[in-house]
């Protein structure tokens, strides 16, 4: 669905964010795009949907150059930026005028999502709080039923109930034909949704693995000692650790621990998750 | 799906634009009318010369309407908070730009024409003043004869606004203001050359029937004539009016098309 090949990119007057960066996103599933601040997660989303041009390399979306931003491409993707402004109209009016651009727009899904988010269709955007606006726009984005949904920090500004609603709506939205890429720092809130984790750092790609691969190659557990662990955090019961899974026993990946390990033991994590690189 | 051009999408863009921008248009109309009202009030009180009403109405309309309409058209594409949404809306950039261009041109031309007709009717409906000059102000056809010039002016300011919007990017709009001032100076520079020749051009023996700030067609007892307002040392005459806006439209288009959301 998305192929990033040998991407090099930098903003004018700034250092390179990406050098010879490659990534492939398959159709279907929910991808978590993680990385520390300023590493280029939002930039990568913009490159994917053609809002930025790479210095060199290619970014292909549905087999075509993403920068072409053809109508058929745009009609099949939806971007929810971290911060955005919406026109000073009611949500209903916005939907009436914008939905016809999206051929697969599902009005009943939209109405249901709004009901569950407790957002009124006759409310005006400018009278909504940031969280309300975000919920309204996320509901619209999901109702567009595009093949690719790009969400940049979608849970920022949402209250606890709304975060749960977001997760359940995303689960209903997801099909084998649809892909969502979620860039977030708040991993605990959406970690259970991810089928696939991508972690990037200033040097490039660190993790590009399915949750299944993570659980089979890494072991996440709470132990009394953190000795020899790739990464650990002290908890009430001892140490939450992440180690190479040598005994074959699967465990639920803890994304925060994984992120810590990717930061402190970068090379080890790459070696464990990409055995072919050792050849 | 048609990836090149679709009238349906153009219509959807128009519907979305007018639905979402009612308030900016209403505020614009209120500001525009307020300034015109002040102008009319001053004119009615005899504080300004007789021809001030017509000249000011035209100048004010020619600058204000295209700039405001273009700014409303392009504000979504230039603001940091809304540009990602605007540029990922499923319509081609050509359709988005064409709609903005047509909207600016049509609204500007209609706005200027309506304002001129109203001003001329007001002018002729009031009792004559001693300083009233000759001329058939109330002839509506006279103002529609200037439609070409109105389009040129609207095009100039619209394209200038695109360049200006791009220059201002996410900043406070100072870039926009600077480009617009530069454009106004560029366009109205020839006005500096009009004043010394004004007495000759606008005389009781003839009146202007067409033209713009660079030249005018006028009638005298001898028939129709053209007078270039710019001195012959300047290497531009009527083609300047076509080339500058066209150039700005092209620059505006490339700015619009190549714009990146950083």
* Three-class SS of chain B: CCCCCCHHHHHHHHHHHHHHCHHHHHHHHHHHHHHHHHHHHHHHCCCCCCCHHHHHHHHHHHHHHHHHHHHHHHHHHHCHHHHHHHHCCCCCHHHHHHHHHHHHHHHHHHHHHHHHHHHHHHHHHCCCCCCCCCCCCCCHHHHHCCHHHHHHHHHHHHHHHHHHHHHHCCCCCHHHHHHHHHHHHHHHHHHHHCHHHHHHHCCCCCEEEEECCCEEEEEECCEEEEEECCCCCCCCCCHHHHHHHHHHHHHHHHHHHHCCCC
Is there a contact between B20 and A87 if contact means CB atoms under 8 Å apart? yes
Rounded CA-CA distance B201/B207 in Å is 8
* Domain membership of residue B119 as a residue range: 7-189
Model pLDDT, residue B177 = 67
- In chain A, the percentage of residues whose pLDDT exceeds 90 is 86
**First and final CA of chain B: distance in angstroms?**
29
Q: Is the pLDDT of residue A276 over 70?
A: no
- Structural domain total, chain B: 1
Is there a contact between B19 and A71 if contact means CB atoms under 8 Å apart? no
Rounded CA-CA distance A81/A46 in Å is 9
- Record the tokens describing residue A105, joined without a space: 């727009």
Is there a contact between A71 and B90 if contact means CB atoms under 8 Å apart? yes
Which residue matches tokens 């970690």? A191
Instruction: Give pLDDT tens digits for B19-61.
Output: 999 999 999 999 999 998 998 888 888 777 777 777 777 778 8
Min Cα–Cα distance to chain B from A48, Å: 11
Does residue A39 sit in the same domain as residue A68? yes
Give B124's strand partners.
none
- Structural domain total, chain A: 2
Rounded CA-CA distance A29/A181 in Å is 9
Does residue A72 sit in the same domain as residue A123? yes
Rounded CA-CA distance A221/A241 in Å is 5
Rounded CA-CA distance A279/B44 in Å is 91
Instruction: Give pLDDT tens digits for A83-133.
Output: 999 999 999 999 999 999 999 999 999 999 999 999 999 999 999 999 999
* DSSP assigned state of A265: S
Does residue A60 sit in the same domain as residue A114? yes
- In chain B, the percentage of residues whose pLDDT exceeds 90 is 17
Does residue A86 sit in the same domain as residue A155? yes
Model pLDDT, residue B218 = 52
Is there a contact between A101 and B93 if contact means CB atoms under 8 Å apart? no
| Nearest-5° Cα angle at A203, A43 to A233 | 100
Do the domain assignments include residue B225? no
Q: Are A148 and A78 in contact (CB under 8 A)?
A: yes
* Domain membership of residue A237 as a residue range: 209-278
Length of chain A: 279
* DSSP assigned state of A63: T
Which of A40, A42, A98 has the most B C-beta neighbours within 10 Å, making it the best mutation to test the interface with B? A98
Boundary (domain end) residue, out of A175, A202, A229: A202
Which of A69, A80, A91, A95 has the most B C-beta neighbours within 10 Å, making it the best mutation to test the interface with B? A69
Chain B residues with CB-CB distance to A81 below 8 A = 84-85
Chain B residues with CB-CB distance to A88 below 8 A = 20, 23
Do the domain assignments include residue B220? no
Is there a contact between A85 and B81 if contact means CB atoms under 8 Å apart? yes
Is there a contact between B20 and A97 if contact means CB atoms under 8 Å apart? yes
**Closest CB to A101 among B12, B76, B84:** B12
Do the domain assignments include residue B245? no
Is there a contact between A51 and B15 if contact means CB atoms under 8 Å apart? no
Model pLDDT, residue B130 = 66
CATH value at residue A124? 3.40.50.300
Model pLDDT, residue B138 = 46
Instruction: Give pLDDT tens digits for B188-231.
Output: 655 544 444 444 444 444 444 444 444 555 555 555 555 444 44
Interface of B with A (CB under 8 A): 1-3, 6, 9, 12, 15-16, 19-23, 76, 79-82, 84-85, 87-93, 260-262
Model pLDDT, residue B2 = 82
Rounded CA-CA distance A266/B37 in Å is 70
Chain A residues with CB-CB distance to B262 below 8 A = 11, 52
Q: Are B228 and B161 in contact (CB under 8 A)?
A: no
pTM of this prediction? 0.85
Does residue A196 sit in the same domain as residue A228? no
Is there a contact between B20 and A89 if contact means CB atoms under 8 Å apart? yes
Does residue A197 sit in the same domain as residue A213? no
**Closest CB to A93 among B19, B89, B93:** B19
Confidence of residue B178 (pLDDT cuts 50, 70, 90): low
Instruction: Give pLDDT tens digits for A231-265.
Output: 999 988 899 999 999 888 888 899 999 999 999 99
A99 touches chain B (CB under 8 A): no
Q: Which stretch of A185-189, B95-99, B148-152, B193-197 has the lowest confidence by average pLDDT?
A: B193-197
Does residue A133 sit in the same domain as residue A260? no
Q: Is the pLDDT of residue B133 over 70?
A: no
Report which of residues B49 and B166 the model is more confident about.
B49
Model pLDDT, residue B232 = 41
Nearest to A48 by CA among A31, A64, A61, A62: A61
Boundary (domain end) residue, out of A202, A228, A253: A202
| Mean pLDDT value across chain A | 93
Largest CA distance in chain B: 66
| Mean pLDDT value across chain B | 72
Count A/B contacts: CB-CB distance under 8 Å: 79
3-class state of residue A233 by DSSP: strand
Chain B residues with CB-CB distance to A94 below 8 A = 20
Does residue A145 sit in the same domain as residue A251? no
A46 touches chain B (CB under 8 A): yes
Boundary (domain end) residue, out of A152, A186, A202: A202
Does residue A38 sit in the same domain as residue A60? yes
Confidence of residue A277 (pLDDT cuts 50, 70, 90): low
Model pLDDT, residue B169 = 56
Query: Stretch B114-134: mean pLDDT, rounded?
Result: 73
Q: Is the pLDDT of residue B164 over 80?
A: no
Does residue A180 sit in the same domain as residue A71? yes
Does residue A130 sit in the same domain as residue A249? no
Q: How large is the ipTM?
A: 0.92
* DSSP assigned state of A27: S
Cα A26 from chain centroid (whole Å)? 14
Do the domain assignments include residue B164? yes
């Amino acid at each position: 669905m998305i192929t990033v090949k040998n991407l090099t990119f930098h903003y004018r007057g700034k250092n390179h964010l990406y050098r010879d960066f490659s990534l492939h996103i398959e159709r279907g599933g929910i991808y978590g795009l993680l990385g520390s601040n300023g590493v280029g997660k939002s930039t990568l989303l913009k490159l994917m949907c053609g809002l930025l041009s790479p210095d060199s390399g290619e970014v292909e979306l549905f087999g075509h150059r993403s920068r072409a931003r053809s109508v058929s491409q745009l009609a099949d993707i939806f971007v929810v930026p971290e911060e955005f402004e919406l026109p000073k109209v009611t949500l209903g009016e916005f939907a009436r005028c914008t939905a016809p651009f999206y051929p697969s727009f599902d009005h009943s899904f939209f109405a249901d999502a709004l009901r569950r988010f407790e957002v009124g269709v006759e409310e005006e955007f400018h009278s909504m709080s940031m969280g309300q606006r975000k919920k309204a726009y996320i509901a619209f984005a999901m109702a567009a039923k595009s093949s690719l949904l790009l969400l940049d920090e979608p849970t920022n500004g949402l209250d606890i109930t709304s975060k749960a609603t977001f997760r359940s709506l995303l689960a209903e939205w997801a099909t084998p034909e649809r892909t969502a890429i979620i860039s977030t720092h708040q991993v605990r809130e959406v970690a259970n949704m991810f089928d696939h984790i991508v972690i990037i750092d200033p040097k490039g790609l660190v993790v590009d693995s399915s949750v299944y691969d993570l659980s089979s190659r890494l072991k996440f557990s709470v132990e009394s000692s953190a000795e020899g662990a790739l990464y650990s955090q002290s908890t009430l019961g001892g140490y939450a650790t992440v180690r190479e899974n040598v005994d074959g026993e699967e465990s639920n990946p803890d994304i925060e621990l994984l992120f810590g390990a990717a930061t402190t033991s970068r090379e080890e994590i790459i070696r464990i998750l990409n055995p072919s690189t050792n050849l | 799906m048609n990836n090149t051009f679709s009238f349906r999408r153009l219509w959807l863009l128009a519907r979305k634009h007018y639905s979402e921008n009612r308030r900016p248009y209403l505020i614009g109309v209120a500001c525009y009318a307020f300034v015109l009202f002040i102008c009319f009030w001053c004119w009615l009180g005899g504080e300004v010369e007789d021809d001030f009403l017509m000249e000011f109405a035209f100048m004010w309309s020619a600058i204000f309407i295209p700039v405001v309409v273009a700014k409303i058209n392009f504000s979504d594409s230039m603001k940091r908070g809304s540009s990602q949404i605007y540029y990922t809306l499923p319509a081609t950039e050509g359709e988005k730009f064409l709609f903005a261009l047509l909207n600016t041109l049509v609204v500007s031309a209609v706005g200027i024409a309506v304002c001129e007709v109203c001003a001329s009717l007001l002018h002729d409906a009031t009792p004559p003043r001693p300083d009233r000059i000759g001329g058939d102000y109330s002839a509506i056809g006279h103002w529609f004869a200037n439609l070409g010039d109105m389009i040129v002016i609207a095009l100039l300011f619209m394209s200038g606004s695109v360049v200006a919007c791009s220059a201002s990017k996410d900043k406070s709009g100072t870039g926009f203001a600077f480009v617009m001032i530069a454009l106004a100076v560029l366009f109205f520079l020839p006005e500096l050359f009009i004043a010394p020749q004004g007495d000759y051009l606008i005389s009781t023996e003839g009146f202007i029937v067409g033209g713009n700030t660079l030249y005018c067609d006028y009638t005298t007892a001898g028939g129709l004539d053209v007078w270039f307002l710019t001195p012959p040392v300047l290497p531009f005459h009527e083609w300047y009016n076509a080339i500058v806006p066209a150039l700005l439209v092209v620059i505006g288009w490339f700015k619009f098309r190549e714009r990146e959301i950083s």
